[in-house]
Amino acid sequence: MHGLILSPMQSSSKILFLAKASLVLVFLVIIAGSVVRMSGSGMGCPDWPKCFGHYIPPTDISELTYQEGKIFPKGKMMVYNDTLWVANENVTASDVLIRSQWMKYPKHDYAIFNPVHTWIEYINRLLGALSGIPVLLLFFLSFLGWIKRKDFFTFLLATATLFMLGFEAWLGKTVVDAELAPVKITLHMFGSMAIVALLLVIISKHQHGTRFSTPISTAIKGLVFFILLLSMIQVYLGTQVREEIDVVAKQTSDRGLWIEMLPSIFKIHRSFSIIVALSVLLLWWKGRALLATRNSFKGVVGIVVLEILVGVVLAYSNVPAPLQPIHLLLAILWFAFAWYLVLDVWRKKVS
């Protein structure tokens, strides 16, 4: 019990470590989710939280095929006549399918098994579960901090983070049940951004960085906040473009035709990047003397430049698949650095 008693500095250090570890894992989940979307693996596991009724998913279609003498424990699935079936009881397959022993999967009628898609989606889920470990530890440690040192704000942030992680897990289930409904996928993305934002507030609170030598002007603060707002708008526009790409991808596999087939939302997304570029250039010009030493400032400027370059390559090089998750990752990193820069300049710390 005595080992649980930490000094304020030790507790703050551990909270900072757990928040950073959680942040890294959340970004890994975001990358994995983007790979799932890019590869079309979202229905690789048609049920949740299991995968075809298994804790460890199948690797071959034979594991899901009805064969005489094969044992199917209750809850396990099979694909039969292009339909997904769930065992109502422990079943030993006879030469003829006994209908009363099985029920059609009620959530949807998707019944395609692709082992690559299945394992991509399964790894995504594993990373999501793994990210919950440091978040849960962060919650318990912040609870102790609230009890011992009255640090209710960190506990509130950690509680909100844990709640959002649970909400994201539930939303992930509804996404699968709805066969990847676009609106729910977009909500899922913004839920991930909310978790990133909460963790960064905790990190900012417990990070002992250098102070500003002079006060930051209201104009620069406003510009920093404006760039954060731009990042959220651009991410939203990007999700809409991604939804439209899903539509045209079903019409043709020729990536060279995708861009010209997209509706006006793509042009809006592309044109909006000009506003982003000009705003970041203005921030660099007006704030470089005060912000040049801040990693968050460098991150915003550098990542926006990379994001625009990747967007140009996607638009003019037939939407290369490997760049799609990179484009999404850079967008979320831009949001993260912009949000942290907002926290940085609004703390009003002056030496």
pLDDT tens profile 246-279? 888 889 989 889 999 999 999 999 999 999 999 9
170 and 131 fall within a common domain: yes
Q: Percentage of the chain with pLDDT > 70? A: 93
132 and 200 fall within a common domain: yes
Mean pLDDT over each residue of the chain, to the nearest integer: 87
281 and 138 fall within a common domain: no
307 and 238 fall within a common domain: yes
How many folded domains does the chain comprise? 3
34 and 90 fall within a common domain: no
131 and 226 fall within a common domain: no
198 and 257 fall within a common domain: no
pLDDT tens profile 159-210? 999 999 999 988 888 877 776 677 778 888 899 999 999 999 999 988 876 6
**Domain extent for 104:** 51-113
104 and 76 fall within a common domain: yes
Q: How many CA atoms lie within 13 A of 148 on its CB side?
A: 14
168 and 293 fall within a common domain: no
